[in-house]
């Protein structure tokens, strides 16, 4: 799982969302536990970002939100407290995806340590909002937790 996660993160951060989608989808299909929603959510987010790159912002925003909904489901099942997340992001995710505040999402750890899922969620929420309003957006990145 570690090498596939690192590959997915690297591809995502390079803006190669199609191949990042494939990596996260492989993680999703290969998992049987509580992380399935996280991997499927990240795959859907990548599909949305791929649509954005191809000039289809409406579909992009819907796929990003659908992926965030899966990440929210994962967050609800994760036992708090979790490194790399914060309560404000959990509350924002719950409010924006139509639910109440979820528990902090479980960390996913790449070669550089735990990855900051809270920052990613915040950036994706902002991206979907900008797409809905017809505004330009900046490509999000998956970054490690800063200690």
Answer yes or no: is pLDDT of 34 > 80. Answer: no
Q: What is the pLDDT of residues 55-70, one digit of tens each?
A: 999 999 999 999 999 9
Answer yes or no: is pLDDT of 46 > 70. Answer: yes
Q: Tell me the pairing of strands 108-110 and 113-115.
A: antiparallel
Domain limits, the chain: 2-132
Give the residue among 26, 62, 24 at the shortest CA–CA distance from 142. 24
> Given 3.10.310.30, 1.10.3450.10, 1.20.120.530, 3.40.50.20, which CATH number is that of 2-132?
1.10.3450.10
pTM of the model: 0.81
> Which burial class, exposed, middle or buried, applies to 100 when counting CB atoms under 10 A from its CB (0-12, 13-18, 19+)?
exposed
Residues of the chain with pLDDT > 70: what percent? 78
Q: Phi and psi (nearest 5°) for 83?
A: -65, 140
């Amino acid at each position: 799982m570690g090498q596939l996660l690192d590959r997915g993160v690297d591809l995502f951060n390079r803006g190669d969302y199609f191949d990042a989608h494939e990596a996260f989808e492989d993680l999703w299909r290969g998992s049987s536990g509580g992380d399935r929603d996280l991997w499927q959510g990240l795959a859907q987010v990548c599909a949305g970002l791929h649509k954005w790159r191809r000039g289809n912002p409406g579909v992009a925003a819907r796929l990003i939100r659908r992926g965030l909904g899966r990440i929210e489901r994962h967050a609800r099942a994760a036992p708090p407290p979790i490194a790399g997340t914060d309560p404000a992001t959990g509350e924002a995710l719950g409010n924006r995806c139509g639910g109440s505040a979820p528990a902090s999402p479980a960390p996913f750890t790449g070669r550089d340590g735990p990855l900051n899922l809270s920052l990613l969620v915040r950036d994706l929420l902002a991206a979907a909002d900008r797409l809905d309003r017809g505004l330009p957006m900046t490509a999000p990145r998956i970054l490690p937790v800063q200690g």
